[in-house]
Amino acid sequence: MESYGSSSVGVGKPYKNTDDQAVDLSRTAHPNGKVAAEDSDSALADFLLANGFSRLHFGGRLEGQYRSQKPAISIGRHRWYLVCGLLITICFGVVDPLLAPDVYTVAWIFRYGLLTPMLTVQLLVSFQSFYPKVEALFSTVTICSVAGTLIFIMKFSDSPLATHYHGLLLLLVLYGNVMTRVKFWHSFSWSIIVMLAYYLNFGITVVSDPLAGYYSSLIAVVCLIGLLANYQVEYHARLDFLHTLLLNCEKERLERMSDELYRVAVVDSLTGLYNRRHFDEALATAWRDAYANETPVSLLFIDVGCFKRFNDTYGHQRGDQCLKVVADTLSRVERRPSDVVARYGGEEFVIILPGMGEAKAVIFAESIRANVESLRIPHRASTVMDCVTVSIGVSTVTPGPDCKPKMIVAQADKALYSAKEEGRNRVCIAKKTKLNLKSQLEAVTPI
């Protein structure tokens, strides 16, 4: 074994805060505020499902989440509805002279001077990102304008055929309640406006004209049916939202439980480093990668010197604190994201250094040894110094076809034993052993 005393290699780089360990374990972190908000949403969703929400309003954060979700009718389909409405508005101008020959010129002014530009503008605005915020206003104004035009024609035309515009008004009411993306309370508002406008103009003739009474009743019934349909659509959309929310909350809860189980399974509870189980898995992975890429793997075996005497002298609680400080030092020494620091057991730690050669591994190990010594943790029972020190065994292997990960562990352990036998507080390198049989065969094979 080759050994390096406590001053044979220069002191390593100073501590550097790295988040590599935190990155590896980031999947176990969940902000308390987020968890509390999810639990609050879940409780509110349960309450609403149990008690109903007849006013179609959740309130607070939950209402904001619902309004921000993707509507049941996509914006693309909504644009096609606008195009259809625009074409119908333009094409029906052809029948105005036939159904209302006495007022069709004024009707055309409304149809082509007001309604067509309004629908065109709404169609163009629908391509803008802010459209969802003004969609309800656009739809309400457009529907009320179309309804006003139809009511104007029916009011001022003396043609007997003008009564057919009642059918168009009924279709408009159904279209506005069912085919648009307007929420119930907006639909309720413009439906009331349309009904008031209709009854203010035709309510007096209901008694004297049975046909007018028939249409007046039909307008009310169609508005009621359209609103009921709109209400049911939104109510069930909100129901689906609540069920989806509960499923997502349950999924998040299960993920948190899974992450906690993962953390318990791979993290040492005392030091916060990875445990022996994760070390075995990480070493196997690094070994396979090194074999595939024909690169070396270095392993550091670290032992806290005279730790039993430390416990006997200062007590086990101080011993646990000492291990935490040493573990924190190991995790803070400058290293790469691929390196793995773990607690092997008791006062022993291990560090896997994939792709690192022996020379750099020795420098890295000496940096750790010097940093731990510089902590000056009192240890009057130590046989080496009056402070806590560590001994480190280093082994570097380029895996071959017949090599197993346990070989590098055994070599690093032997190197650690040598470091302790030679006086502790030092770094020892494992004796060279040609483990890469593939390289040996290539070296002796004649060309």
Q: Which of 51, 73, 45 is nearest to 234 (CA)?
A: 73
8 Å CB contact between 308 and 356: no
Q: Which residues of 320-357 are buried (b: 16+ CB within 10 A; e: fewer)?
A: eebbeebbebbbbbebeeebbbbbbeebbbbbbbbbbe
C-alpha 307/C-alpha 311 separation (Å) is 6
323: left (phi over 0), alpha (psi -120 to 50) or beta: alpha
* Cα torsion 197, 198, 201, 203: sign: negative
CA atoms in the 13 A half-sphere facing the CB of 275: 10
Largest CA distance in the chain: 119
Residue 353 tokens, joined: 């250094």
Q: Which residues of 40-68 are buried (b: 16+ CB within 10 A; e: fewer)?
A: ebbebbeebeeeebeebebeeebeeebee
424: left (phi over 0), alpha (psi -120 to 50) or beta: left
For residue 13, the 8-state DSSP code is: P
Which residues belong to the active site?
Answer: 347
C-alpha 354/C-alpha 289 separation (Å) is 9
- List phi, psi (to 5°) of 294: 55, 50
Helix H or strand E encompassing 331: helix 316-332
Nearest-10 Cα torsion for 136, 52, 174, 88: 40
8 Å CB contact between 45 and 242: yes
- Burial class, 415, CB count within 10 angstroms (exposed 0-12 / middle 13-18 / buried 19+): buried
Give the other-Cβ count within 10 Å of 94's Cβ: 8
8 Å CB contact between 82 and 122: yes
